Structures are given as structure tokens and as C-alpha cells.
Amino acid sequence: MNDLIFKRVQEVGQYLVATRATVREAARAFAVSKSTIHKDVTERLPKIKPDLAGQVKDVLEFNKSERHIRGGEATRKKYQARLN
């Protein structure tokens, strides 16, 4: 694995645990695609730092459990903006 990828994988993992960010937010923060973030934390991170990977998995599961709420909130804001 390339040194830059190795470093990014660890930084992404630490970022997700520290901020509890979504995959989209992490992708924006690191200027890479959502697919890259997802591959980094689900495939690469467990090979590098299994303990951090477990923490990241918890964050991803939490975000997944709340995604229907975030989607509804975004729709509400969208229509609220149209009324104003």
C-alpha cells in the first residue's frame, strides 16, 4: 500500500471517530470520493488498525441508523426555504 494511502486511511479513521462525521462529510474534508472513504474504512483500515476500525464501524452504524432522520430534515428545510 502506498504511503500516502496508508496515512490517509489512518487520518480518515481518526477523523470519523473524533467528529462522528458521515462518509459524505469525510469525503469533502479529505477531497476524495465517498467510495474512497468507504473502501478506506471498511477494507483497508481493519488491516492496518483493527481497534480503530471497530470504533469507525460504530460511527458508521450510528450514522446509518439516523440517515432516515437526516433525509427528512433536509427535505423539510428544502420546502421551508421555498415558502420564505
pLDDT (0 to 100) of residue 41: 96
Instruction: Read off the pTM.
Output: 0.81
What's residue 72's pLDDT? 82
Q: How would you class 41 by CB atoms within 10 Å of its CB: exposed for 0-12, middle for 13-18, buried for 19 or more?
A: buried
Q: For residue 19, name the pLDDT band (cuts at 50, 70, 90).
A: very high
- Spatial distance between the Cα atoms of 31 and 49, rounded to a whole number of angstroms: 22
The answer to whether the beta carbons of residues 51 and 14 sit under 8 Å apart is: no
Q: How confident is the model at residue 69 (pLDDT cuts 50, 70, 90)?
A: confident
Q: Which of 19-23, 61-65, 68-72, 75-79 has the lowest mean pLDDT?
A: 68-72
